[in-house]
Structure 1
Amino acid sequence: GFGGDNPHGKTLVMLDGRRLNRPDMASANWLQIPVSTIERIEVVRGGGSVLYGDGAVAGVINIITKAGSGGPKTEASIITGSYGLHDERIGISGSEGRLTYALNGENQKTFGYRDRSRFSSRGAGIDFDYDANDFWNVSLGLSYNETEFDFPGSLTKTQYEGNRRQSGNPDDAGFNDYLNANLAIESFIGEYGRLTVGFLYGNKDITADYASYPSYSVVDINTYGITPKYIFERDLLGRNNKLVCGLDYYYENLDKDGFNDRAKMSQKNNAQLSRESLGFYVRDELYLLDDLILALGYRNERAKIEGSESQVDGTVIFDEQKTHRGEALESALTWLVGEKSKVFVRYATVYRYPFLDEQASYYGYAWDSFLTDLEKEKGTTYEVGTTFYPLKDLKIGLTLFRIDMQDEIVPNAFWVNANLDETRHEGAEFDISYVLKDWARLYGNVTYHNAQFRNGTHAGNKVPLVPETTVNAGLAMYLPWHLELRPEMKYVGTSYQGGDNSNAAEKVERYTMFDILLFYRPEPRENFRFSAFIGVENLTDEKHALINYGGYYPLPGVTVKGGISIGF
């Protein structure tokens, strides 16, 4: 991970090519992704601003869902576990002529590890894909998700040592609704390539009741997008060549009503913010030789953020705007070695626009303002690495990286968002995967990440919330009777707590966690499939907490889960 105060803001999450990142500081809602319909997950490490624009600083996660095929197929599962967890899912998919379809639904609930960490989620989705003829097709996806949850909040050190499962907030809660629609039209124009146009809409209704502040609000966020993309694959000077170019237009508006009471009978303020962006990009991959690929890319984008806030009596707190200009470059060389190995070197520039609630504070407090001097984050990345197969079933990967960042955004000592001094992130990532014939698979990765301030008051100090070392490892053992035993471990090194730019406060301690899973997957019988699992997370009941600005956030203790899945 990238670390820092807003790591999720530096990784772009996409579902079938649709951005899930929100325009405010909250992370993407992973529960709007129907797990039962996932076909594969594509992870692109490193800067991706040329193709994807805002937010693709550390990498891109693109989740691809399954397309229906053949007659109707049904998948159903139930999971239960510690702390009152239960999770029920169902999916139906198939095809009829040129039409494919997939429907899904999910219900999840848990009381949570800590007091007042209750959580529930319900959602459903439907996807259609119609191949009209050999020249064009159209797809439509609709989804709805609602979540309800408590906010246990942080603990003081004394509270944490006394009872790590207690709640720091007595009566904070929230309720969210998500509605998404995604229409894509793809046209195949023979030797002239293919053109895809995506039309996106998303609505989020967010109710947040923070009795501890106090702050009560209702927020409505709408997102509109049009994303035409042209792909042209044709030999250039006798060499394979792939050209991708496109436009990304997004308009996001946020409307917030603040109240003095939970019943929302006494309004305090209203805030309206918007972000409109338009970007053009082009990227080309050319085979200079049969085993040497040159990639070059460029993006130019403009984003305007507007915001206003007024009290209920009409007093205007602010009415401002800020324009950001994003520009990204990419150049890379990839040398293909043998059937699957490769060596690569890559240079790219990246950027991230401020979230709406970073650019402005609009919660009805005395310090509310629009920060016209807050700049976008930007950086330069360098990578060199290899994916190497010394044996058919042994994969080894090694990447050396450096990311020089400017103007990273964090709260300052007065809790006002500000741009940091320049920082440098550098290190190495090592991963390995080894299949031992038909009885086991060994996998793991190690990351060394050194993040420091390069100038300013804290020059030479470590960037908070960035552990130097992380290790993940696992062993999948294929046992008789269709069983698979999978022990896993995770190690995270020490880091400085959030906000500790001077490196003077208590550190976030290192920790090691062990999980173990047992799967049962018998051979399918005719049209019937069955599988089951049971597992224990944090097997040794490791007591660990993240520390952010002096507040302790305990991670769950030992957790038991189990479930069954059927398909027909």
Structure 2
Amino acid sequence: MSFRLQWLHLRSQALRTPITWLLASTVPSLYAAEPVQLESLTVTGSTISDRFAADSRVVSSTTVIEHEEISERHATNLIEVLRAVPGVTADLSGEGDSIKIKLRGIENQRYMGEKPGVAIVIDGVPVFERTGKVSVDLDNIQSIRVVKGGASYLFGEDALAGAVIITTKRGAGHEGVAIEHDRGSFGYQRDSLRGGFASEHLAGHLQWVSRRSDGYYELSERDTTSLSGNLQYFLDDVSDLTFGFEVSERFRDREGSVSGATMAKYDPRGVSEGRGYTRQFDVELSRYNLTYSRDFSATGTLQLLGYQYTDDTRYWSAPIRYDAQGRPVSDNQVDQYQNDNDYAQVQQGLKFEIRETFGRLGLMGGAEVRRNTFDEQATAKESYATTIRPRLIVVEQGTLKSDYLTEERTRALYSEAQLSLDKGLTLVANYRFDSTDLDGLDRLAGGLHTGDRYQNHSWRLGFNKALSADLSLYGAVSTGFRNPTVSQYADNPDLDPETAYTYEIGLHQDSQWLGWPTRLNASLFYIDRRDFITSNVGQYVNDKAASAAADIEEPRPENIGGVTSRGFELALSTEVRHRLSFDLAYTFLQSRFKDYDNYFLALGNPYGALVSDPAQFSNPASQVLFLRYDNSGNSVPRTPRHLLNLRVNWFPVEHWKLSGEMDYRGTSYADELNQETLPSRTLFNLALSHQRRFMAPGDIPLQFTAFLKVDNLLDERFYSSARGFYDSDANGVYNREDLSIVVDPGRVWQAGVALRF
């Protein structure tokens, strides 16, 4: 083994240990600022933290959800929080809080291990967790900011359609003790205990949370235990040092999909489905950061951030079809799997930022150094036969099947400038330069795959024009990018990075609407998604498809096409008047493939004998026929034309609150062919809460809260998600019986109490 191979191998072992250095900071939010004065402007860009409320002078669509609102929703997953945000087209599989967040239809055609096209930022760090999904402790969220439009100008790779910026709990606001207990459908139980303190020089808290559920679906148990905390030390009047951490142990089993519309109707829980493709996910997550911030002038701030985030996931994959003796293994033998997978990811990095204002000009500059490693191993969970004819070939238990290390090293410079002109006009410009090196080490084969050095330029140009004291017009052009992976580069060194350009114009208004103080935001957007990478024979298609195409020499990843998304978004929220308040979110979305001319659909057994002439396709169980389609102009799957969310809060008497929600999702397609549909659905949810404050003996202030909520009140049966890409039952026909469908559990309830003192 060469010196470089040995060096990469040693680094892969060392990266599993905690780091001992961590530096960071706490600074104003990505788009928050003090009101802009013509003679003095405060620059608002930052990647590190998100402490303040949004300012009306933003240049891109943003939605902020604060801690109080998140807590009052008593959500069991992040989708329940984000579905009131216009433009969110996320998929929810199963019941857990591990989801893939998507915006404005970008990347909705993908649902396996790919990145989602949205930067998920937790405490200033874009996180890439297992299979592109984000696992976050809902009980440790201080705020969520959803920024739409290409956001690579601040966060780098994968911010094609925007960013979801999550800030965890911190500060003196969590002083005291809080005890909470919830119960709900299917054995759901949640327990939480938090203690916090605040003094002149110190503020901090420690929180323990446990969530468990038997699950609606067969083999869908899940269990999560998290410990998190934050300690903030005020060095002096202008500087502070903050340490934050979160460690979680998570377990989840199957996610609940069934095969075909008939099974979705008669066996929605998947009892007869037996095994899924993956099971038994054991996940260990940790996040550590140490922050430093100093205000060196009335408008100038310096900040540092250092962090280490880890994700160690083990799971089973690939059900065994034949045992070591060549006997068939049925799906009711639910523990029989080929692979025991171990995936370890470590993210380490440092950031530096400085901001200052010079009259009407505000400037921000930052630098970032980041290293991400992905260490993947797969061993044979037990002995099994790969083939039985013409001879028996067996893989022995414990055989190392793959052992791969990937390393990404990024160095970036980024900046923002804001200029305040006369007559209420503010101009904003952002620029970021990323230089990324990719290396891959196949320890099993003994080969080193070195990716190209990618150098990416990202930018945003925007404006905000105050038309009156409570009405402003804004607009921006922004970019996003994603580099090829090491394995994609190894198969095709000529790949270009994927890119996206977002064009947006909107109105922001604070006014009175029928007596209610109302905040309204409306925007028009257009996204030009270019050069997305997938196989030249289509997504998730067996490589045999290349043999069916005379013009394809070999299957490999290519920049095969693009997507356009255009639409209109409206967000309206009111303050409480006449004991009522309202929140409305509406999205009109048209997302289509601009170019996608090579797509092969497998009919029959995808691993069977290849047949090129349909007339010879007589035995689908042992043959495969590939049909070629041009999907250019088709709608992107799982992107409804209309989405509507309406929330109404009623305060009938003191201490009581009744909340109703209607959530509508229009019809969409379940496949890239646009043959099978995912029907529309309308949900009605209802929640009742009671909150009272009183003094306990010893003059201790207490707050008691109780709630009851019922989701899907009318018990509507619908598909949470549906996807299809081949003849899964190998009968020679592709139809609704080939879809992989997740059926919603129907009406569910949850109730809980909380005591804070």
Matched, 1:331 2:435: no
Matched, 1:132 2:235: yes
Corresponding residue number in structure 1 for 2:635 = 462
Corresponding residue number in structure 1 for 2:747 = 558
CA distance in 2, matches of 1:141, 1:29: 17
Matched, 1:377 2:498: yes
CA distance in 2, matches of 1:228, 1:243: 14
Corresponding residue number in structure 2 for 1:165 = 269
CA distance in 2, matches of 1:419, 1:509: 31
State the shift of 1:249 in Å.
Answer: 1.8
Unmatched tracts of structure 2, length 5 or more: 1-87, 89-102, 321-337, 384-396, 543-555, 598-630, 725-738
CA distance in 2, matches of 1:26, 1:75: 33
Mapped contact 1:49–1:55 kept (Cα < 8 A): yes
Corresponding residue number in structure 2 for 1:27 = 133
CA distance in 1, matches of 2:466, 2:265: 54
Q: Secondary structure at the match of 1:25?
A: helix
State the shift of 1:199 in Å.
Answer: 0.5
Mapped contact 1:229–1:246 kept (Cα < 8 A): yes
CA distance in 2, matches of 1:20, 1:502: 32
1:372-391 per-position Cα deviation (integer Å, ceiling 9, x unaligned) = 45543211111010112331
State the shift of 1:324 in Å.
Answer: 2.7
The 1:12–1:133 alpha-carbon spacing in structure 2 relative to 1, beyond 3 Å, is same
Q: Secondary structure at the match of 2:571?
A: strand
1:79-478 aligned within 5 A: 79-152=182-255, 154-157=257-260, 158-167=262-271, 168-170=273-275, 172-190=279-297, 193-212=300-319, 214-235=338-359, 239=360, 241-261=361-381, 265-289=398-422, 291-311=424-444, 315-316=445-446, 319-354=449-484, 359=488, 370=491, 372-391=493-512, 393-410=517-534, 412-413=538-539, 414=541, 418-435=558-575, 437-457=577-597, 458-478=631-651
| Code of the aligned partner of 1:376 | P
Mapped contact 2:109–2:672 kept (Cα < 8 A): no
CA RMSD of aligned residues (A): 2.4
State the shift of 1:58 in Å.
Answer: 2.2
The 1:374–1:70 alpha-carbon spacing in structure 2 relative to 1, beyond 3 Å, is closer
Q: Secondary structure at the match of 1:451?
A: strand
1:388-442 per-position Cα deviation (integer Å, ceiling 9, x unaligned) = 2331602222100000001234562525765441211000001222335140001
CA distance in 2, matches of 1:429, 1:298: 26
Matched, 1:61 2:164: yes
CA distance in 1, matches of 2:343, 2:289: 22
Mapped contact 1:292–1:334 kept (Cα < 8 A): yes
Identity of aligned residues (%): 21
1:35-71 per-position Cα deviation (integer Å, ceiling 9, x unaligned) = 2x54332222222221222222222222334434389
Mapped contact 2:560–2:595 kept (Cα < 8 A): no
| Code of the aligned partner of 2:239 | W
The 1:371–1:102 alpha-carbon spacing in structure 2 relative to 1, beyond 3 Å, is farther
Corresponding residue number in structure 2 for 1:364 = none
Mapped contact 2:440–2:449 kept (Cα < 8 A): yes
1:131-182 per-position Cα deviation (integer Å, ceiling 9, x unaligned) = 1113432111121001011024532113223201115442721100011110
| Code of the aligned partner of 1:203 | T
CA distance in 2, matches of 1:290, 1:493: 42
CA distance in 1, matches of 2:466, 2:236: 36
| Code of the aligned partner of 2:417 | D
Mapped contact 2:256–2:270 kept (Cα < 8 A): no
| Code of the aligned partner of 2:267 | N
Matched, 1:490 2:663: yes
1:290-316 per-position Cα deviation (integer Å, ceiling 9, x unaligned) = 5211001111112222223243xxx34
Unmatched tracts of structure 1, length 5 or more: 361-368
Corresponding residue number in structure 1 for 2:608 = none
Corresponding residue number in structure 2 for 1:501 = 672
| Code of the aligned partner of 2:582 | L
State the shift of 1:460 in Å.
Answer: 1.9
CA distance in 1, matches of 2:660, 2:424: 39
1:503-558 per-position Cα deviation (integer Å, ceiling 9, x unaligned) = 2x211111111111111112343510011110111112222221122311222211
CA distance in 1, matches of 2:170, 2:517: 30
CA distance in 2, matches of 1:262, 1:318: 29
The 1:523–1:348 alpha-carbon spacing in structure 2 relative to 1, beyond 3 Å, is same
| Code of the aligned partner of 1:199 | G
Q: Secondary structure at the match of 1:132?
A: strand
The 1:89–1:409 alpha-carbon spacing in structure 2 relative to 1, beyond 3 Å, is farther
CA distance in 2, matches of 1:558, 1:322: 51
1:11-32 per-position Cα deviation (integer Å, ceiling 9, x unaligned) = 222233233333x53311123x
CA distance in 2, matches of 1:374, 1:487: 49
Q: Secondary structure at the match of 1:539?
A: coil
Q: Secondary structure at the match of 1:522?
A: strand
The 1:515–1:419 alpha-carbon spacing in structure 2 relative to 1, beyond 3 Å, is farther
State the shift of 1:330 in Å.
Answer: 0.8
Corresponding residue number in structure 2 for 1:365 = none
Q: Secondary structure at the match of 1:422?
A: strand
The 1:166–1:202 alpha-carbon spacing in structure 2 relative to 1, beyond 3 Å, is same
The 1:446–1:202 alpha-carbon spacing in structure 2 relative to 1, beyond 3 Å, is same
The 1:65–1:252 alpha-carbon spacing in structure 2 relative to 1, beyond 3 Å, is closer
The 1:339–1:451 alpha-carbon spacing in structure 2 relative to 1, beyond 3 Å, is same
The 1:13–1:459 alpha-carbon spacing in structure 2 relative to 1, beyond 3 Å, is same
State the shift of 1:188 in Å.
Answer: 2.4
Higher radius of gyration, 1 or 2: 2
| Code of the aligned partner of 1:106 | V
Q: Which has the higher contact order (CA 8 A, sep 6+)?
A: 2
CA distance in 1, matches of 2:573, 2:295: 38
CA distance in 1, matches of 2:268, 2:680: 17
CA distance in 1, matches of 2:181, 2:635: 44
Mapped contact 1:191–1:234 kept (Cα < 8 A): no
Corresponding residue number in structure 2 for 1:523 = 693
Corresponding residue number in structure 2 for 1:547 = 722
Please say which of residues 475-484 and 107-116 is displaced more in the overlay: 475-484
What TM-score does the superposition give when structure 2 sets the normalisation length?
0.68
Mapped contact 1:381–1:403 kept (Cα < 8 A): yes
Q: Give the strand-richer structure, 1 or 2.
A: 1
State the shift of 1:354 in Å.
Answer: 4.7
CA distance in 2, matches of 1:220, 1:75: 34
State the shift of 1:469 in Å.
Answer: 0.9
State the shift of 1:490 in Å.
Answer: 0.8
CA distance in 1, matches of 2:449, 2:215: 41
